[in-house]
Chain A
Amino acid sequence: NAGVTQTPKFRILKIGQSMTLQCTQDMNHNYMYWYRQDPGMGLKLIYYSVGAGITDKGEVPNGYNVSRSTTEDFPLRLELAAPSQTSVYFCASSRPADPRGAFFGQGTRLTVV
């Protein structure tokens, strides 16, 4: 049981480039989330999904897009990368009303230069 798997672990992008952060979970969880974590700022919710074909914006969605075509996968797309998107990105998943909250991946550290 791998849990939540994110790829890549590290990436350097140039300003204006695009990329997709991959996230897959093998726990058959309905809910999936993308958070970003900046130093001293805590984790902020970017987008979330309650099931295949359903996505919604979180607190900081600007500059990002998501899709959810399967239960397992929830990729995060960055278009026209900007230095402000330098951060550590975490994907997470959970079941409805799970008392353990969410299970997190190991993170993707992204630097935009």
Chain B
Amino acid sequence: EDQVTQSPEALRLQEGESSSLNCSYTVSGLRGLFWYRQDPGKGPEFLFTLYSAGEEKEKERLKATLTKKESFLHITAPKPEDSATYLCAMGGATNKLIFGTGTLLAVQP
């Protein structure tokens, strides 16, 4: 069964304290590993898509990496405005997405 598992469920960081979020997946044929950011009361907002093991993508303080079984979202020197829920999802046929349960990140000043 296709499945996505994210850890930790919640993470509290001090401003400037780097860390990583994990997304592990089991799928018969991966059609993209997606990362989204979700702010309270809003819909998910696209961050990255990774397609093959070894691939990396960066945007400001965020870097996403992919292996054959998991993806990491590395957050370098986070700021309070990086506080949000980060969602990982596997892509399927017709761009259907299978989501993990998310990691709630809180960055304190």
Contacts and interface: CB of A to CB of B under 8 A. Distances in A.
A76 B12 CA distance: 37
Given A31-B94, A43-B99, 17 more contacts: A33-B97, A42-B4, A42-B87, A43-B44, A45-B97, A45-B98, A58-B96, A90-B44, A92-B43, A96-B94, A99-B49, A101-B97, A102-B95, A104-B44, A105-B43, A107-B41, A107-B42
B24 to A, nearest CB: 14
Given A41-B101, A42-B100, A99-B32, A48 B94 contact: yes
Interface residues of B, number: 24
Contacts of A42: 4, 87, 99-102
Please name the 6 residue pairs, one residue from A and one from B, whose CB atoms are nearest each other, closest first: A104-B43, A42-B99, A42-B101, A43-B99, A94-B95, A101-B34
Interface in A79-113: 90, 92, 94-107
Contacts of A99: 32, 49
